[in-house]
Amino acid sequence: MAVNGIETTAAWRTLTALAGRSRDLHLRDLFAADARRAAGFSLAHDGLLLDYSKQRVTTEIMTALNALWEIADVPGWMEKMRAGEAINTSEGRAVRHMALRDPEPPAEVRAVLGKMRRFCEAVHGGDWRGGSGEAISDVVNIGIGGSDLGPKMATQALAACHQLQLRVHYVSNLDAAHLATTLAPLNPRSTLFVVASKTFTTQETMSNARSARHWIVAALGEAAVSRHFVAVSTNFKEVAKFGIDPDNIFEFWDWVGGRYSLWSAIGLPLALAVGFANFEAFLAGGHAMDRHFFTAPPQSNLPALLALLGIWNIDFLGAETLAVLPYSQSLEHLPRYLQQLEMESNGKRVGRNGLPLAYSTAPVVWGEAGTNGQHAFYQLLHQGGRLIPCDFIALKQPDFVLSGNTPHHAALLANCFAQSEALMRGKTLDEASRELASAGMTAEAVAQLAPFKVFPGNQPSSTLLLPRLDAYTLGQLIALYEHKTFVQGIVWGLNSFDQWGVEYGKQLAVRLLPLLEGGVASGDALDSSTAALIAACRVTPHDR
């Protein structure tokens, strides 16, 4: 089959027909018709429970979706990935992040893991000291995109495991406000910078790293740099040019994509935050998910189910977004992390052969930790009239317990399950009217108010219940979404591992910088809007 010919297959046509026939299906009717729906549309594996009974699917639809697994040859592509074939064709690279979490990793991976372990122990034990002899109290990771979002998300997720003697901070934004406000309370004598960049050429990271270096040199002198800077990169030449001691480089490789790099030395700040044993447990969780992904048939394969349900919602029901709603403050950064994972991987308009795709690909991924989101955007989920599939993520056991008897966790779970129930069930005009009447309202008042109290429901969601939020479970969770993204990319026939879409804006910014610094434009003339905006930024006497 041609790579992006999946829309011409009988399976795709069957799914289109099923979507047409299912337009009038309402989730509340599906539940009413089958008392065992939850059991039939859920999957438990290695402590995780995925309940997808609130998705708008039937057994017939699931069977048709599962057929895409073979038709798109997902197993064949999995093997190519595992064998180290250059499946990132537009960059000519292999995709081998799974090797980073293999209990028997390649020798070069094992060597870097050993170096990371020794470094973590030295920092935690106070053997690694700053230039003036002080132990390290604060680590600042300077990176962006995959060199920031993963370790930042995971550091927050594992807040309950933090090494108390060390605080880990993340700086990514080119805006000086990010570095300035992070450094303000820190002491240069006890601050260690991790400059994390696969290419070591990224403008944001290099600008922040240069300013951080200036901060250290101004306080402690040039000689202190080697005690206050380490680098994580694939580009030794650029790291050396920047002036970081070659002994202080933690290597990774071009076969690790930026957004899949948390498992590599990019995870160093995470390992510093939670200790190396927890980092190893994180790798073990990821590997356990790899084993499951490679062995389970699609109907009982967690990544496959998430991927195929997403394809159903996007390509057959017409959903344009996916709301990720973790009912866990510690997973606050997960939606942002998944934005890069899914949107940078699968936000593509052409297939692997360069031809335009005839269907929608990655959804707009967004979200917020519950219950905060409930007080911000859930109104639109319930009554805004758009189809917005949701991934609810909840923890069976809390990661933090406060003293006193306030039932934080039970209330959190109650809110999570109530929201997915309300989104599924909705409330009819009849039900709303009866409710108001039984509260003692007059018939006239009921008629006036009831339309505002109607909830259409039928909003699809999955709920992923994690046993707890520890390093192993987090590893499972992240690898689950990675493989989900992989399966979708294969079914959509695209290359999930390049990101040409981020290049153009970068190119134009390079051209505009001299103008904003008062110089002259090079290359083509500017459009009138860009020229006027630049002109408006010239500081005038009125600005003072």
Positions annotated as catalytic residues are: 344, 375, 506
Touching ligand F6P, residues 372-411 (CB under 6 A): none
Write the DSSP assignment of 341-402 as a string of letters.
Answer: IIIIHH--SB-TTSPBPSS--S-EEEE--TTGGGGTTHHHHHHS-----EEEEEESS-S---
Indicate the residue among 145 and 389 with the shorter CB distance to ligand F6P: 145
Give φ, ψ of 72 to 5 degrees: -85, 0
Q: How far apart are CA 17 and CA 2, in angstroms?
A: 22
Indicate the residue among 205 and 461 with the shorter CB distance to ligand F6P: 205
Q: How far apart are CA 209 and CA 496, in angstroms?
A: 30
Of 110-118, 138-146, 481-489, 533-541, the segment contacting ligand F6P by CB under 6 A is 138-146
Which residue's entry shows tokens 């969780």?
Answer: 285
Q: How far apart are CA 232 and CA 227, in angstroms?
A: 15
Is 155:270 a contact under the CB 8 Å cutoff?
Answer: yes
Residue 225: CB minimum distance to ligand F6P, A = 20
Which residue in 277, 502, 516, 537 binds ligand F6P (CB under 6 A)?
A: 502
Residue 154: CB minimum distance to ligand F6P, A = 15
Q: Does 488 bind ligand F6P (CB under 6 A)?
A: no
Amino acid identity at 120 = C
Q: Does 287 bind ligand F6P (CB under 6 A)?
A: no
Residue 478: CB minimum distance to ligand F6P, A = 15
Of 196-204, 244-252, 410-418, 428-436, the segment contacting ligand F6P by CB under 6 A is 196-204
Indicate the residue among 257 and 373 with the shorter CB distance to ligand F6P: 257
Residue 197: CB minimum distance to ligand F6P, A = 3
Touching ligand F6P, residues 313-352 (CB under 6 A): 344
Please, which residues bridge with residue 194 across strands? 141, 230
Indicate the residue among 190 and 199 with the shorter CB distance to ligand F6P: 199
Q: Are strands 390-395 and 229-233 parallel, antiparallel or unpaired?
A: unpaired
Of 173-181, 198-206, 388-396, 413-421, the segment contacting ligand F6P by CB under 6 A is 198-206
Indicate the residue among 144 and 322 with the shorter CB distance to ligand F6P: 144
Which residue in 130, 131, 146, 389 binds ligand F6P (CB under 6 A)?
A: 146
Which residue in 208, 313, 461, 499 binds ligand F6P (CB under 6 A)?
A: 499
Half-sphere exposure of 346 (CA within 13 A, CB side): 28
Contacts of 257 (CB under 8 A, 6+ apart): 88, 95, 97, 146, 497
Write the DSSP assignment of 95-130 as a string of letters.
Answer: --GGGGG-SS--HHHHHHHHHHHHHHHHHHTT-SB-
Indicate the residue among 452 and 504 with the shorter CB distance to ligand F6P: 504
For residue 315, the tally of other CB atoms under 10 A from its CB is 22
Which residue in 130, 258, 267, 351 binds ligand F6P (CB under 6 A)?
A: 258
For residue 125, the tally of other CB atoms under 10 A from its CB is 10
Q: Does 141 bind ligand F6P (CB under 6 A)?
A: no
Is 249:238 a contact under the CB 8 Å cutoff?
Answer: no
Contacts of 499 (CB under 8 A, 6+ apart): 258, 344
Q: Does 496 bind ligand F6P (CB under 6 A)?
A: no
Of 118-126, 199-207, 216-224, 346-354, the segment contacting ligand F6P by CB under 6 A is 199-207
Which residue in 16, 89, 190, 199 binds ligand F6P (CB under 6 A)?
A: 199
For residue 85, the tally of other CB atoms under 10 A from its CB is 14
Indicate the residue among 66 and 496 with the shorter CB distance to ligand F6P: 496
Of 131-139, 141-149, 508-516, 519-527, the segment contacting ligand F6P by CB under 6 A is 141-149
Q: What is residue 190's DSSP assignment?
A: G
Q: Does 147 bind ligand F6P (CB under 6 A)?
A: yes
For residue 522, the tally of other CB atoms under 10 A from its CB is 9
Residue 239: CB minimum distance to ligand F6P, A = 12
Q: Does 259 bind ligand F6P (CB under 6 A)?
A: yes
Of 193-201, 247-255, 367-375, 443-451, the segment contacting ligand F6P by CB under 6 A is 193-201
Which residue in 88, 141, 202, 488 binds ligand F6P (CB under 6 A)?
A: 202
- 443-467 in b/e form (b: 16+ CB < 10 A) is eeebeeebeebbbebbbbbbbbbbe
Which residue in 18, 144, 194, 413 binds ligand F6P (CB under 6 A)?
A: 144
Indicate the residue among 254 and 332 with the shorter CB distance to ligand F6P: 254
Give φ, ψ of 350 to 5 degrees: -120, 155
Structure-token pair, residue 11: 């399976």
Residue 499: CB minimum distance to ligand F6P, A = 5
Indicate the residue among 230 and 413 with the shorter CB distance to ligand F6P: 230
- 370-383 in b/e form (b: 16+ CB < 10 A) is bbebbeebbeebbe
Q: How far apart are CA 215 and CA 61, in angstroms?
A: 59
Touching ligand F6P, residues 103-132 (CB under 6 A): none
Of 145-153, 183-191, 477-485, 517-525, the segment contacting ligand F6P by CB under 6 A is 145-153
Q: How far apart are CA 313 and CA 307, in angstroms?
A: 10
Contacts to ligand F6P by CB under 6 A: 144-147, 197-199, 202, 205, 258-259, 344, 499, 502
